[in-house]
């Protein structure tokens, strides 16, 4: 079980999910069918984890995974992509329909309060999540391309205020290489592989740290 499933949440491990995606994409190419992916991430998790501790943070991740699992259809796949990030794979589903399915879950979560238990501790907690939706073959021919498109849509959802879902844009997005030199992008890719987190996640984390640092002090124009 632990070889294929994440021991903490019970959903598919990232490596297993990647292998299954390769198989599903190959089959969909032969059958001329489509696959939608939802890349989902807890909002403000780092702040909660820092304030309440890693064990309670793990309980929040497990609660989120349980909610997603209960709302997945029998044909869907659910995997933990890294940290508090999850990937829902929806075969034979238009991206717009995938968005509606995940939107029902988002509304359910954002309007509810959940009980988290860790040892002798118990707390009631409300939380939200954001997500990006992309589809094969519309947003890419390879699993990595579609995952990247969904991750980019998730990044935009975070930037627009969190607690929302966005579809990947159909037109080609501005390449990261327009903003960052090649050596930095390679270091980012290496770090993503080492930490088992997505590149967009690491960029979001860095941006959150940057905003928090400058919000703690008054920044004068001459210091910019």
- Tens digits of residue pLDDT in 80-108: 999 999 999 999 999 999 999 999 999 99
- Domain check: are 48 and 130 in the same one? yes
- Domain check: are 154 and 223 in the same one? no
- Domain check: are 211 and 116 in the same one? no
> Domain holding 58: CATH number?
3.30.70.270
Q: Which domain holds residue 219?
A: 174-224
pLDDT at 71: 97
Burial of 34: CB neighbours in 10 Å, binned 0-12, 13-18, 19+: middle
- Domain check: are 182 and 214 in the same one? yes
- Domain check: are 68 and 129 in the same one? yes
Query: Contact, 57 vs 48, CB < 8 A?
Result: yes
Number of domains in the chain: 2
From 31, 59, 84, 96, active-site residue: 84
The closest of 133, 102, 129 to 114, measured between CA atoms, is 129
128 pLDDT above the threshold of 50: yes
pLDDT at 208: 67
The reply to whether 7 falls in a domain is: no
- Domain check: are 161 and 185 in the same one? no
- Domain check: are 30 and 57 in the same one? yes
Instruction: Check if 222 is active-site.
Output: no
The reply to whether 52 falls in a domain is: yes
Q: Map residue 120 onto helix, strand or coil.
A: coil
């Amino acid at each position: 079980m632990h070889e294929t499933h994440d021991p903490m949440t019970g959903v598919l491990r990232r490596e297993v999910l990647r292998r299954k995606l390769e198989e599903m994409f190959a089959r969909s190419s032969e059958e001329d069918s489509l696959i939608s992916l939802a890349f989902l991430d807890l909002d403000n998790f780092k702040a909660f984890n820092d304030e309440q501790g890693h064990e309670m943070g793990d309980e929040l991740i497990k609660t989120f995974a349980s909610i997603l699992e209960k709302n997945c259809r029998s044909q869907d796949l659910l995997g933990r992509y890294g940290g508090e990030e999850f990937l829902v794979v929806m075969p034979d589903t238009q991206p717009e329909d995938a968005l509606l399915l995940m939107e029902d879950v988002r509304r359910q979560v954002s309007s509810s309060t959940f009980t988290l238990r860790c040892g002798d501790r118990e707390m009631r907690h409300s939380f939200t999540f954001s997500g990006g939706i992309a589809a094969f073959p519309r947003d890419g021919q390879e699993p990595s391309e579609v995952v990247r498109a969904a991750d980019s849509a998730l990044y935009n959802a975070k930037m627009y205020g969190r607690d929302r879902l966005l579809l990947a844009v159909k037109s080609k997005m501005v390449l990261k290489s327009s903003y960052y030199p090649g050596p930095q992008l390679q270091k980012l890719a290496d770090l993503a592989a080492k930490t088992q987190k997505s590149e967009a996640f690491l960029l979001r984390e860095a941006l959150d740290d940057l905003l928090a640092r400058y919000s703690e002090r008054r920044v004068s124009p001459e210091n910019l």
